[in-house]
Amino acid sequence: MNLNNKTLIIIGAAGRLGREIVGAALESGANIVAVDQSEQALQVLQAKQGNNKGFLAIEGDITQAASIQRVIAAAVAKFGSLDGAVNTAYPRNDNYGRSFFDVTYEDFCENLSLHLGGYFLFMQQCAKYAVETQARFSLVNMSSIYGVMAPRFEVYAGTPMTMPVEYAAIKSALQHLGSYVSAYTKGSKFRVNSVSPGGILAGQDQAFLDRYNNYCREKGMLEPKDIVGAILFLLSDASEFVVGQNFIIDDGFSL
């Protein structure tokens, strides 16, 4: 995928999916502004890039408008333009991931504020930048198959994992917000789409993987590198008229 001369912000750049997206987008020729809340993790990313002139790492927080505005300004100051972004942040509080009956009202609301609220704010600020500068801008939000389908709770049986109720609310709402913002920004060159991966391999227990993989066609749970092709496509000019869509990448798990 050709991303030559494009400047892209990657939020959550130090995360499992973010690191892979940063590497693939750099290889496709883009200038990358890697943003994460974790300064320490960003330093590791920066060390890997050395003196790469097409790479800038900045600490940033999608729950703070001023922080997002600072990141956008830094991207434009360093590279002269801004053509798109990927939001792959995963904000959550310490109680995130509890079973349905154990989730308190406070934790439900806090996780929605951090995650859905942060994605709303980043989407709003990117759209504002694109509308005000009349720039062509492609935003990709990371959603999930669990924003589309009900959980298959049986795959988690006997493990400490579950599919958190907050996640279902956040990721489904995020897809609809993409439709809302696409409609609202009609007439501009701003577009937003989401990518919904199935589960990503991260050392899960084998019995769980076997149960999960049974629902898939070939590979089962995927690796971060299996997701990036769709993201690069959405960032590229090849998808110029793809707007407000959700791409599911799950080896057939949700079918």
Ligand X SMILES: NC(=O)c1ccc[n+]([C@@H]2O[C@H](COP(=O)([O-])OP(=O)(O)OC[C@H]3O[C@@H](n4cnc5c(N)ncnc54)[C@H](O)[C@@H]3O)[C@@H](O)[C@H]2O)c1
- Residue spans of alpha helices (H) in 80-219: 105-111, 118-133, 165-184, 206-213
Residue 168 binding ligand X, by CB under 6 A: no
Residue 37 binding ligand X, by CB under 6 A: yes
Q: Which residues of 23-44 are buried (b: 16+ CB within 10 A; e: fewer)?
A: bbbbebebbbbbbbbeeebbee
Smallest gap from residue 134 Cβ to ligand X (A): 27
What is the edge-to-edge ordering of all strands in the sheet holding 55-59? 55-59, 31-36, 7-11, 84-87, 137-142, 190-197, 246-249
Which residues 211-250 are close enough to bind ligand X by CB under 6 A? none
Of 162, 190, 193, which is closest to residue 176 (Cα–Cα)? 193
| Binding track, positions 76-115, relative to ligand X; x by CB under 6 A | ------------xxxx------------------------
The SS3 call for residue 100 is helix
Cα(88)–Cα(61) distance, integer angstroms: 12
Smallest gap from residue 54 Cβ to ligand X (A): 21
Residue 41 binding ligand X, by CB under 6 A: yes
> Among residues 1, 8, 11, 130, which is the contact residue for ligand X, using CB under 6 A?
11
Smallest gap from residue 47 Cβ to ligand X (A): 16
Q: Which amino acid is at 140?
A: V
Of 162, 163, 181, which is closest to residue 171 (Cα–Cα)? 163
Residue with CB nearest ligand X? 15
Residue 36 binding ligand X, by CB under 6 A: yes
184 catalytic? Reply is no
Residue 14 binding ligand X, by CB under 6 A: yes
Which positions are catalytic?
167
Which residues of this chain interact with ligand X, rule CB under 6 A?
Answer: 11-12, 14-18, 36-38, 41, 60-63, 88-91, 118, 142, 144, 197, 199-200
